[in-house]
């Protein structure tokens, strides 16, 4: 990294410089006019926290017990597909960091490294995220693989019944599997570090699935089409998955109190409030504005995860004070990798830890659970 970054925005700007435009836009973009993505981040500015003074906060701890395990911090890295495309070796960097720093890493169905390899490299600090495919055989196969590999937590993503178009990707001709095209050659030449390293390692592709393009797979095939609709999956599917999956089950993409309550009644172990980072529905409300309502519907003790729009340690504190038990960070992790590789991610992680710890001191909190118990949200 040529210079130190002091905010996620600075990591984002540096990543923009280092990545080819097509690749950066695939990470940074969202659906529609990208209003929901911006709304997610700006809505945090309206969340004001009122703490207490004259509290001894000299010794503070970020350790957090969640889903039957103690983590070194109350946040992890959200599942994001094709990580190695955004920076060569990104999946391995994140897995090793999860192992060494003690946070959970979300592993996407669309990961560019196999779910087994990531779990092994993270020393078990990984949660597998499931996209149900058109093929029942593919879906069952992924669930079985995750169980056999030793995953303790399965995250079912429910907010992609259809893949929303992203205009930047459309203009750039971005596809999965990723293909280098002649019109992007100049841009790739202007980013030699990314281009040469990617070519030496091989063009990343999804490693958990076989991607099919341009045709309908038969019911017996296990191909996965990224653009395919998943609208047939409903509460019955969740119930069946609950009966099949022996470990912790999380429902991701919940944005209504009613759905949160139904998920709890269906037997999930945690609800995950998220609007997919604003990448699916441009008219979606900011996820942070929905979070307190979901917490109220679930009651004080039901495990609740949050992502979408988190850009600082103070945002993590805002989410915890608003009702989340645990927070997942998405795009910023890949911005940091794009800005400076493994050292960039290490710098981001330390930045978030330091910011969160400082905010806790300002609010009179020694432990992360006190953010929800003692801090008033305005």
pLDDT > 50? residue 213: no
Which residues are tagged catalytic?
A: 276
pLDDT > 90? residue 178: no
Query: Which helix (H) or strand (E) covers residue 203, if one does?
Result: none
Q: How far from chain centre, in Å, is Cα 143?
A: 19
Query: Which helix (H) or strand (E) covers residue 9, if one does?
Result: helix 8-18
pTM across the whole model: 0.94
Which pair of structure tokens corresponds to residue 167? 């205009």
Q: What is the per-residue pLDDT for 289?
A: 98
Quote the CA–CA distance of 63 and 362 in Å, as a whole number: 18
Per-residue pLDDT reduced to its tens digit, 96-150: 999 999 999 999 999 999 999 999 999 999 999 999 977 888 899 999 999 999 9
Quote the CA–CA distance of 19 and 191 in Å, as a whole number: 6
Cα–Cα distances (Å) from 93 to 86, 126, 134, in that order, read: 12, 13, 31
User: Domain extents for the chain?
Assistant: 8-377
Mean pLDDT, the chain, whole residue set: 93
**How many Cα neighbours within 13 Å face the side chain of 315?**
26
Residue with tokens 């399965």: 154
Query: Which helix (H) or strand (E) covers residue 57, if one does?
Result: none
Q: Supply the CATH classification number for the domain 8-377.
A: 3.20.20.70
pLDDT > 90? residue 229: no
pLDDT > 80? residue 191: yes
Cα–Cα distances (Å) from 227 to 160, 180, 212, 231, 252, in that order, read: 10, 19, 10, 12, 19
Q: What is the per-residue pLDDT for 219?
A: 36
Q: What is the per-residue pLDDT for 186?
A: 87
């Amino acid at each position: 990294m040529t210079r130190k970054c002091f905010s996620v925005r600075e990591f984002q700007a540096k990543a923009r410089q280092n990545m080819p435009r097509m690749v950066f836009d695939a990470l940074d973009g969202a659906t529609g006019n990208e209003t929901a993505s911006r709304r997610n981040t700006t809505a945090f500015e309206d969340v004001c926290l009122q703490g207490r003074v004259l509290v001894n906060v000299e010794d503070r701890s970020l350790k957090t017990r969640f889903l039957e395990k103690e983590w070194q911090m109350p946040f992890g890295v959200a599942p994001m597909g094709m990580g190695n495309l955004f920076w060569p070796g990104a999946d391995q960097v994140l897995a090793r960091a999860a192992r060494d720093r003690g946070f959970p890493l979300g592993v996407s169905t669309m990961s560019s490294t196999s779910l087994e390899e990531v779990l092994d490299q993270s020393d078990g600090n990984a949660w597998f995220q499931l996209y149900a495919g058109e093929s029942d055989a593919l879906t069952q196969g992924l669930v079985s693989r995750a169980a056999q590999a030793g995953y303790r937590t399965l995250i079912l993503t429910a907010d992609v019944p259809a893949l929303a178009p992203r205009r930047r990707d459309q203009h750039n001709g971005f596809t999965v599997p990723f293909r280098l095209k002649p019109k992007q050659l100049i841009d790739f030449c202007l980013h030699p570090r990314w281009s040469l390293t990617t070519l030496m390692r091989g063009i990343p592709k999804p490693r958990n699935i076989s991607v099919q393009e341009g045709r309908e797979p038969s019911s017996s095939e296990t191909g996965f089409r990224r653009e395919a609709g998943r609208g047939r999956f409903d509460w019955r599917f969740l119930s069946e998955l609950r009966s099949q999956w022996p470990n912790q089950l999380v429902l991701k993409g919940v944005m209504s109190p009613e759905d949160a309550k139904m998920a709890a009644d269906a037997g999930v172990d945690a609800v995950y409030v998220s609007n997919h980072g604003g990448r699916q529905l441009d008219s979606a409300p900011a996820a942070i504005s929905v979070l307190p309502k979901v917490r109220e519907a679930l009651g004080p003790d039901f495990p609740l995860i949050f992502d979408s729009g988190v850009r600082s340690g103070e945002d993590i504190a805002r989410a915890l004070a608003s009702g989340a038990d645990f927070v997942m960070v998405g795009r910023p992790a890949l911005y940091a990798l794009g800005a400076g590789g493994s050292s960039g991610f290490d710098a981001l992680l330390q930045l978030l830890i330091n910011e969160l710890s400082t905010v806790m001191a300002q609010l009179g909190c020694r432990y992360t659970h006190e953010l929800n118990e003692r801090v008033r949200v305005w």
